[in-house]
Structure 1
Amino acid sequence: MAQKTVLITGCSSGIGLAIAAKLARDEQKRFKVYATMRNLAKQDDLIAATEGYLGKTMEIKEMDVCCEDSIRNCVSSIPDRHIDILVSNAGVGLIGPIECQTIEEMKTVMDTNFFGLVRLLKETLPDMKRRKSGHIVIISSVMGIQGILFNDVYAASKFAVEGFCESLAIQALKFKLHLSLIEPGPVVTEFERKVFEDGMKMDLSAADKETADMFTNIYLKNYKSIFQSLGQTAEDVAEHTMKIMLSENPPFRHQTNTLYTPMTTLKYADPNGDLPIDTFYKMVFQHDKIFNASLNFIKLLRWRSKKSFDLGKPQPQ
């Protein structure tokens, strides 16, 4: 297998850092990684995770997915602008009642999570089309399939990504390009910790008492328990992502967390769309004790969880 050039966004922490490190440390040296981030002052963790590989199988570059010039300059700095695999990972989160969020905050989420991907593809897709070769890997979310309480705007940004990619995938086939949506469930990273901390500090004065109480005493109260029960590590998601890259026929969608899959399956089980909404409502407001007991039971069974999955034959090496 010839060495693949991989461009990854959002590598200062979390999933992006884990993917960059895993590919750079590949024993067979199958990847040349260009790990990018908006602020190069935050590269220390990535450097520490890839000690001995920097300047060999990995280079760190500056890129702000909210700036077209920044994207263009970064892509143009890569030899022949040749990118075999583009990994769109950069993103921001937002939780809480919409009454307590500004339109500017909402725009920032959409600008980064959705338009950031669009800007990337406007710059890189024409080159891939000309070569009739390339794999676009998007770190999406199960919240691109199914909305979750108090994640309205974040889910909207991921729904936009999924709809955009569903449409683009049809065109991509004509140019022999692969497009894959990686859909993690809860992932324990600095990203999630920051989202939680921001939620804890949120000014709830604009919300009615019932909504504020719901956010504080139901959502935030169960946040950590859900992540402890269902959460994956960034390294686990990176392992799934690498296997998708090495698959001979990579899937369009891949959920990384088998523990969460039954929840998203509800979306497809009822054409009317009522089943998942009704189920989540009852879990949160009517059967909360059973829900919490289930989370505790899952914690006890986590050691049995298998990370292996079948994606067909790997590409020849």
Structure 2
Amino acid sequence: MNMVQKTVLITGCSSGIGLAIAAKLARDEQKRFKVYATMRNLAKKDDLVGATEGYLGKTMEIKEMDVCSEDSIRNCVRSIPDRHIDILVSNAGVGLIGPIECQTIDEMKTVMDTNFFGLVRLLKEILPDMKKRKSGHIVIISSVMGIQGILFNDVYAASKFAVEGFCESLAIQALKFKLQLSLIEPGPVITEFEKKVFEDGMKMDLSAADKETADMFTNIYLKNYKSIFQSLGQTAEDVAEHTMKIVLSENPPFRHQTNTLYTPMTTLKYADPNGDLPIDTFYKMVFQHDKIFNASLNFIKLLRWRSKKSFDLGKPQPQ
């Protein structure tokens, strides 16, 4: 092969967005990437193996890595030829929803340890090599919740806010070393990750919360959870497509939102320096105009279904 393959290390590849990105890059027709897809538990590799049949051992290898362990990260990086990583895709993460009165501090620490300190550990190991070479692209799968907090996502949003602040600070230093840094910010994404978060929320013991808060979580948040994902949700493959474009871009943006349907929500934050507008808007949507909110979600769902239907009809039908 004449062209130089770029070495890509991706975390959290057992399912969801990480799996989709690993498969997308590994299956690239031009073979521009050598993918090291990592996961905490190799017993969960079957879905990734199935999605990349014919590419394993060629454009992709699967390795064990736990982002909560410095030793695990170090061992994985050392197993890569010359420790050379051109592109790091930091994707591993965990979710948590519900009233904070019903969550333990240990559960909160796990979210921060994985979502924030997991990235920090990765960069402590990989950044010095990139600095020496003055070459590398760090891609972080963040979230729109790293820009704007959402009801009953307090701790998860905090972990993503931490990631965004950390990267905003680091990006200035990265420029000096000719490194690129990109935050990819999906909105709702329909994956096993979200399904598990929802199921954990459904099983949550709400006895520590007052009746009004428990009712709000059950009858407003959880009740609307599926509708929001069905109306605004993307697939992991959509996010992988956006990630590939960012990785291939000559001048990748620092921030990139993958879901234009969600962008008006985050724009509210920048429209009001006082910060009252988004909070007031979300409050009214949830508590005062819930019928309009639900009608809007159904309308968006209908528009997406119609556009998908017309798109599908435009394809040649198999004989």
CA gap 1:307/1:12 in 2 versus in 1, 3 angstroms:
farther
Match of 2:304 among 279, 302, 305: 302
CA deviations on 1:135-173 (whole Å, 9 max, x unpaired) are 000000000000000000000000000000000000000
After TM superposition, the score normalised by the length of structure 1 is 0.96
CA gap 1:249/1:310 in 2 versus in 1, 3 angstroms:
farther
**What is the alpha-carbon distance in structure 1 between the residues aligned to residue 110 and residue 306 of structure 2?**
39
Contact conserved, 1:247 with 1:315, CA < 8 A, in 2?
Answer: no
Percent identity of paired positions between Structure 1 and Structure 2:
96
CA gap 1:17/1:202 in 2 versus in 1, 3 angstroms:
same
**What is the alpha-carbon distance in structure 2 between the residues aligned to residue 212 and residue 54 of structure 1?**
47
* Counterpart in the other structure of 2:317: 315
CA gap 1:49/1:253 in 2 versus in 1, 3 angstroms:
same
**What is the alpha-carbon distance in structure 2 between the residues aligned to residue 316 and residue 238 of structure 1?**
27
CA gap 1:312/1:92 in 2 versus in 1, 3 angstroms:
farther
CA gap 1:255/1:93 in 2 versus in 1, 3 angstroms:
same
**What is the alpha-carbon distance in structure 1 between the residues aligned to residue 172 and residue 318 of structure 2?**
26
CA gap 1:309/1:152 in 2 versus in 1, 3 angstroms:
farther
Q: Secondary structure at the match of 2:125?
A: helix
Q: CA deviation at 1:314?
A: 29
* Counterpart in the other structure of 2:108: 106
Q: CA deviation at 1:2?
A: 2.1
**What is the alpha-carbon distance in structure 1 between the residues aligned to residue 232 and residue 68 of structure 2?**
31
CA deviations on 1:91-148 (whole Å, 9 max, x unpaired) are 0000000000000000000000000000000000000000000000000000000000
Pairs aligned (count): 317
Unaligned runs of 5+ residues in structure 1 are none
Q: CA deviation at 1:73?
A: 0.2
**What is the alpha-carbon distance in structure 2 between the residues aligned to residue 286 and residue 17 of structure 1?**
40
CA deviations on 1:62-113 (whole Å, 9 max, x unpaired) are 0000000000000000000000000000000000000000000000000000
Q: CA deviation at 1:302?
A: 1.1
CA deviations on 1:13-51 (whole Å, 9 max, x unpaired) are 000000000000000000000000000000000000000
- Aligned: 1:92 with 2:65: no
Q: Secondary structure at the match of 1:308?
A: helix
Q: Secondary structure at the match of 1:171?
A: helix
Q: Secondary structure at the match of 1:54?
A: coil
**What is the alpha-carbon distance in structure 2 between the residues aligned to residue 236 and residue 224 of structure 1?**
19
* Counterpart in the other structure of 1:219: 221
CA gap 1:169/1:305 in 2 versus in 1, 3 angstroms:
farther
**What is the alpha-carbon distance in structure 1 between the residues aligned to residue 246 and residue 205 of structure 2?**
41
Contact conserved, 1:248 with 1:313, CA < 8 A, in 2?
Answer: no
CA gap 1:310/1:257 in 2 versus in 1, 3 angstroms:
farther
**What is the alpha-carbon distance in structure 2 between the residues aligned to residue 76 and residue 68 of structure 1?**
12
**What is the alpha-carbon distance in structure 2 between the residues aligned to residue 204 and residue 235 of structure 1?**
35
Unaligned runs of 5+ residues in structure 2 are none
Alpha-carbon RMSD? 4.9
CA gap 1:263/1:305 in 2 versus in 1, 3 angstroms:
farther
